[in-house]
Amino acid sequence: MFLTHLECTSCGLHHEWSGLQNLCTTCQKPLFPVYDLAAVGHALSREVLAQREKSLWRYREVLPLPAEVEPISLGEGGTPLLRSARFGSEIGVSNLWIKDEAQNPTQSFKARGMAVAVSMAKHLGATKLAVPTAGNAGGALAAYAARAGIEAHIFMPRDTPRANIIECRELGANVVLIDGLITDCGAEIARRKAAEGWFDMSTLKEPYRVEGKKTLGYELAEQLDWVLPDVILYPTGGGTGLIGMWKAFDEMEALGWIGSARPRMFSVQASGCAPIVRAFEAGEASAVEFSNAHTCASGLRVPKAVGDFLMLKILRESKGGAIAVDDEEMIRITREVGLAEGLFVAPEGAACFVALRKLLDAKIFAPGERIVIFNTGSGIKYLDCYE
């Protein structure tokens, strides 16, 4: 067990990890788990790692769950990094890769965060979990809570894709549909959680979903033989995957597993909800709430994110950027990607392929650069968008 404490990402205040925690108790910003990486370095090497099971739990030493506690698992992580030869060559990119997160339990990368966060919540004594969700996080919470034998209360916008709503119900969760956005769902949980005894599992408002998501960064490094790609395109809502990967890169450098080079990180958002793109372009350190948010890529319909300042810092530090794409473009490119690669990608993943094309047109990339796109979910959950 190498977790030492939780540290505020804004004011630096330390918090105990041994009780259920949400945001920093003084400044209300996200907390990051901190590990004794010197000790991890003695216990774990890249060579030992290579012999372990194909699951995110292979990175156990840099995950928060005590070694003797059995994780709540459905086989998450260990997804393929696929060479995109055909789509890549069609658009003139010779070194394009797709991390296919649709191959996780509940068909999205949300499984990573929830596997770790539900494991910790159960270990720390929570019995009722609540989450506001754009869709996929709800399905993942419902699945892991069911497996853990604890209650899940899921708050979703009424117009969340039907598959997500039905999935949560069939996994036995208590589903509440809200006439509003994910931010309204979060506000409703905040209002009721004390009286109901719910632990708030909102992304980055509890400290461990980001730890599950950071394994995207560990896997990517391992799959690319410990050399990070030049560019990452990530469909950004709450930004937990982006923030988590950046944390993973720093941890891996401290462990001596990678060097100091970092990919240029690009946030891809929908034109109908692009708070990070706006803030990035305006040179702001945080993002104002995006009004009238709308997009069929429901995971990108996050008008205000608690980790906005962290994302903006990463995009700038990495010399990356932020770009918005239209829904019609996402829907149109889905079939192109499907035909070229054999993947029915989620609209959020499709957005990254559109963004790639736009960034290529703008001559943002040098020839031969290694580019990784995250397909964060499956198109099968979004049939409403294709009818």
Binding characters for ligand PLP, 109-128, by CB under 6 A (x = yes): -x------------------
Measured CA to CA, the distance from residue 339 to residue 68 in angstroms comes to: 46
Q: In what order do the strands lie in the sheet with 128-132?
A: 174-178, 151-157, 128-132, 199-200
Pair of tokens at residue 221: 């490094």
User: Which residue in the set 241, 263, 303, 320 belongs to the binding site for ligand PLP (CB under 6 A)?
Assistant: 241
Closer CB to ligand PLP, residue 61 or residue 167? 167
Query: What letter does residue 95 receive in the DSSP assignment?
Result: S
Q: Is 307 in the site for ligand PLP (CB under 6 A)?
A: no
Site for ligand PLP in 327-346 (CB under 6 A): 346
Determine contact, residues 212/219, Cβ cutoff 8 Å.
no
Give 224-230 contacts, CB < 8 A, sequence gap 24+: 224/81, 224/370, 226/46, 226/257, 226/258, 227/258, 228/258, 228/261, 228/262, 228/263, 229/97, 229/263, 229/369, 229/370, 229/371, 229/372, 230/263, 230/264, 230/365, 230/366, 230/369, 230/370, 230/371
Q: Which does 235 bind (CB under 5 to 8 A by kind): Zn ion, ligand PLP, none?
A: ligand PLP
Q: Which does 376 bind (CB under 5 to 8 A by kind): Zn ion, ligand PLP, none?
A: ligand PLP
Determine contact, residues 252/149, Cβ cutoff 8 Å.
no
Q: Is 108 in the site for ligand PLP (CB under 6 A)?
A: yes
Total residues contacting ligand PLP by CB under 6 A comes to 19
Q: Is 27 in the site for Zn ion (CB under 5 A)?
A: yes
Measured CA to CA, the distance from residue 186 to residue 309 in angstroms comes to: 19
Beta strands in the chain (DSSP E): 3-8, 14-15, 31-35, 81-83, 96-100, 128-132, 151-157, 174-178, 199-200, 231-235, 264-270, 321-325, 371-375
- Min dist. Cβ of residue 369 to ligand PLP (A): 23
Q: Which does 364 bind (CB under 5 to 8 A by kind): Zn ion, ligand PLP, none?
A: none
Pair of tokens at residue 260: 């100091």
The dihedrals phi and psi of 33, each to the nearest 5 degrees, come to -70, 140
Q: Is 203 in the site for ligand PLP (CB under 6 A)?
A: yes
Closer CB to ligand PLP, residue 153 or residue 213? 213
Q: Is 11 in the site for Zn ion (CB under 5 A)?
A: yes
- Min dist. Cβ of residue 238 to ligand PLP (A): 3
- Min dist. Cβ of residue 26 to Zn ion (A): 5
Q: Is 137 in the site for ligand PLP (CB under 6 A)?
A: yes
Pair of tokens at residue 326: 């239209």
Q: Is 24 in the site for Zn ion (CB under 5 A)?
A: yes
Pair of tokens at residue 40: 């991890």
Per CB under 5 A, the segment of 24-32, 58-66, 104-112, 167-175 that binds Zn ion is 24-32
- Min dist. Cβ of residue 269 to Zn ion (A): 27
Per CB under 6 A, the segment of 79-87, 129-137, 220-228, 317-325 that binds ligand PLP is 129-137
Closer CB to Zn ion, residue 10 or residue 223? 10
Tokens 């990051």 -> residue: 32
Closer CB to ligand PLP, residue 76 or residue 348? 348
Question: Which residues make up the interface to ligand PLP (CB under 6 A)?
Answer: 108, 110, 134-137, 203, 235-241, 299, 346, 348, 376-377
Residues engaged in binding Zn ion (CB under 5 A): 8, 10-11, 13, 24, 27, 29
